[in-house]
Amino acid sequence: TRYFVDHRKVRVIGGQGGGGGHSFYSEPRKEFGGPDGGNGGDGGHVIFKADRQIKSLASILPFYQGFHGERGGSKNCYGANGAYMYVKVPVGTLVKEDGKIVADFTRHGEEYVAAYGGAGGKGNRFFLSNENRAPTFFTPGEPGQERVLHLELKTTAHAGLVGFPNAGKSSLLRAISNAKPAVAAYPFTTLNPHVGIVHYEDYEQVAVADIPGLIRGAHQNRGLGMTFLRHIERCRFLLYVVDLSESQPWIQLQDLKYELEQYKKGLSKIPCVVIGNKIDLAQSRINLPLLKEQVGDRVIALSALTGDNLEELLLHLRELYDSYVRREQSQEKSPVKW
């Protein structure tokens, strides 16, 4: 199973600088040409680069070492610098060191030097002076910078599925997209985030993220706590999934919005739609008109299990996406594409 990985601990070391050269120029009729050892090349940097084609941190390795610089040669030849090592990360990645954010990739192509390469050493030619006409001294290259960084991914999906455990978010994501989160006939909660892509006939793609682990008190770090709440921050619109078969399903919606608002002010004001799941059950058909009376947002009743009324959700999802694209273009911004 390919999981959507949203957290990585990475150790990065810049390339070591090449040592300085140690030689003396000598040829027929010019035996004492003097020192001609060149300087060593600088070590290569390790650079994180945001790439919109990368969607998860699954491809990030736990260790990266930059390329070393070459040693200085004779005849005043400098050693070549070590090549830069580029590590591609998804757009939306946060880079933290000792709990502090040192980089935030919000756009394609942004770069951050994770570890600088060491400076190259000096050859004996560098130490030539009037006082010392034949220096034998040279310096080794400096080691590269070493750091331990934590990468966290805030999903830049278009839509976020928000709901309490067993509301049917995973089943709904399986029904409308190509994602395959685990579902079963008994109650359990998803422990890994999943992102599914909804394909439309005009080749537009809408990314929908399943935000797991949300329970009452999640903003106080209860349960899985804020582990996955950060994914909701960058969603352009939200799909609140409530279980219609439970008594007073509108209470679920109030609690969900309260948790989001406590985590970050204004988060519950993001454009949204309420999805009443499990309409195939008898109790759900009784609760549906009561939910519509209590809720001001649009309510779409469906069954992720049987596929009832999924068409209405897909059409409204496209309307929300088109509104987001027009809003971004009116502000001269480029909308996120998958």
Span 270-280, average pLDDT:
89
Q: Report whether pLDDT(189) > 60.
A: no
- pTM for the model: 0.72
Please report which confidence band the pLDDT of residue 227 belongs to, taking 50, 70 and 90 as the band edges: low
| Cα dihedral sign, 259-264-265-267 | negative
* Domain 7-153 part of CATH 3.30.1360.120: no
Query: For position 182, what pLDDT does the model report?
Result: 53
Q: What are phi and psi of 50, to 5 degrees?
A: -75, 135
pLDDT at residue 206 tops 70: yes
Q: Where residue 185 falls among pLDDT bands split at 50, 70, 90?
A: very low
d(CA 247, CA 162): 19
- Nearest Cα neighbor of 81 from 94, 67, 93 is 67
From 39-48, 221-230, 254-263, the region with the lowest mean pLDDT: 221-230
Question: CB–CB of 35/128 below 8 Å?
Answer: yes
Q: Is the pLDDT of residue 131 over 50?
A: yes
The mean predicted confidence, pLDDT, of the chain is: 84
188-198 average pLDDT score: 67
How far from 234 is each of 192, 267, 299, 314, 338, CA to CA, in Å? 18, 10, 23, 21, 14
Nearest CA-CA partner of 210 in 142, 138, 315, 304: 304
In 174-298, DSSP assigns E strands to 194-199, 205-210, 237-243, 272-277
Beta-carbon contacts of residue 281 (< 8 Å; ≥ 6 apart): 244, 245
pLDDT for the residue numbered 188: 40
Residue 172: closest CA among 96, 121, 181, 13: 181
The CATH number given to 159-332 is: 3.40.50.300
Q: Provide the pLDDT for residue 217.
A: 59
- Runs of H (alpha helix) within the chain: 169-176, 230-233, 249-263, 282-294, 310-330
Burial of residue 79 (CB within 10 Å: 0-12, 13-18, 19+) is buried
Mean pLDDT along residues 251-257: 87
Confidence check: pLDDT of 187 > 70:
no
User: Alpha carbon of 8 to those of 85, 221, 237: distances in Å?
Assistant: 18, 20, 27
Q: Is the pLDDT of residue 34 over 80?
A: yes
Domain ranges of the chain: 7-153, 159-332
At 116 the pLDDT is 96
Highest-pLDDT range among 23-37, 66-80, 154-168: 66-80
- 135-162: per-residue pLDDT in tens? 888 999 999 999 999 998 877 778 888 8
